[in-house]
Amino acid sequence: MVRKLSLVILIFFYTQLGALMTKDFLLYVGDTCPYCKRVTDFMKEHAILIPVIDIWKNEKAAQELRELTGKGQVPCLRIGKDECMHESLDIIEYLKKQFIS
């Protein structure tokens, strides 16, 4: 039973790692933003490993987000070099399709 569970965990880890290697993701958040927390809680619940950066604590990241999107709205999921997605529920649906389905 332990061996089977270890294999399932290992397959899950490599699935996650493979998805991260095929697309470059970055989640921009604000540390007290409730919509950002919704997304990060979902990621934790499903062990989705995407880098998260707080634009309220990192001015360089805030400037990068404004250059990419024309605004500083969080949460924002950057997909690849120049595609961005706002709205927490949209981001969660996208993550479900990418990592869970």
Q: Which residues pair with 25 in a beta bridge?
A: 79
What would the two tokens of residue 83 be?
């595609």
By three-state DSSP, how is residue 82 classified?
A: coil
Range of 50's domain?
2-100
70 within 8 A of 64, measured Cβ to Cβ: no
d(CA 56, CA 62): 7
> Cβ atoms within 10 A of the Cβ of 71, count?
11
Domain count of the chain? 1
Chain segment 3-24, per-residue pLDDT in tens: 554 544 544 555 555 444 446 8
CATH code: domain of residue 46: 3.40.30.10
What is the per-residue pLDDT across 23-78, written as a single tens digit (0 to 9) for each? 689 999 999 999 999 999 999 999 999 999 999 999 999 999 999 999 999 999 99
**Side-chain-facing half-sphere of 71: CA atoms under 13 Å:** 7
